[in-house]
Structure 1
Amino acid sequence: MDIDKKVLGQRIKNIRVNRQETMEQFAKKLNSGKSNVSKWESGKNVPNDITLKKIAELGGVSTHHLTRPETHERVKQLVEKLEEDTNVDKRYKELYDINFKYNLIKEVTDIIEGQSTDSKNEHYKGMNFDADNVVLEIIRNKIYDSDKTQKYKPFNKRNTIWFVTEQINAMKYDIARILKDNNVSEELINNIVDELSQTQSNIEEL
């Protein structure tokens, strides 16, 4: 991803200010000059790799943290990276819907910045959002969930029952297969599958 000089400059300034150092004091720690620090902080220039590493160490962060885009832009770039892989996973075709793509970027951005008020996103709290693979996994989950539920929308009573019964139907075969692979007795497997089928029938009658 390309470095946003303005964003990088603000992050460098934040590190210096948090350390309560003047530009001169900060520059001295980096074996550099005040004018260089001024250019970095204003986004007119960027430090070389060695200096960038020293700045990251002074701030107690990674160089990746310093150079990555702002959250919204970062999520947008990761979403577009998946959009290019539609030939690999057809579910990414969801991203062709501009509204879905926009809402996805906003929702994942809110999750990372801790602004999501949706209870279904609670389990994402405390994750390491610094890692792109973690953010990509959240994005994929949102795309897959949408793809899996698309045919049932809107979730009125009829479609909700349809969704639940189909999930139970798929689940009982997965359960039977896993139990069989783990040498569970056939009698017990059949009893469990029968109970799930009964539950499925009960829900269909709602």
Structure 2
Amino acid sequence: MASSEDSEDAAITSPTPTNIYKDPDDGRQRFLLELEFVQCLANPTYIHYLAQNRYFEDEAFIGYLKYLQYWQQPEYIKFIMYPHCLYFLELLQNANFRNAMAHPGNKELAHRQQFFFWKNYRNNRLKHIVPRPPPEPVAAVPTSIPPLTLVPNANNAVPTAPVLSPMQFSMPPGSAPPKNDLRNIGSDRRKRK
């Protein structure tokens, strides 16, 4: 009986956690703060700012960046408005990238690459998304051209019809091709004041 009394006394004397922290807004504030920070990572200038102020040398901050990778999961990714932030978040896991972003030239390079991606993204996507129109039907060979008849000659050579150059198709018959006048080319290159 002494052992059961000791366990009851231990249960009575052991403090029960009465002051457990309860988030008043069920984590909404934390969610919004983390979402805002993650989306700020889409800006190479902000990453450069973090590198210049030596945030990337703090192990706790690097751990926080590692923790934020949960935003790549489908249940969280639907809240992301700037998808480049996830790409930069992945790159920030690498120490070489973190060190490189301290230099202004690398910041400008990342910013330019991001701009070119945005500039060409829609057109590149449309090439793969929009269905191409079916090819136009090939026009039938006109029947007004008489067929070429082969007449054997002494050398057994096959006669061929004369082939017209593209210039002969575009010019009216009897006209000469235009001549380029090279006398006044230098006058076009004058400096304007």
TM tier, shorter chain?
under 0.3
TM-score by length of 2: 0.24
Structure of greater relative contact order (alpha carbons < 8 Å, 6+ residues apart): 2
Q: Which has the higher helix share?
A: 1
TM-score by length of 1: 0.23
Query: Bigger radius of gyration, 1 or 2?
Result: 2
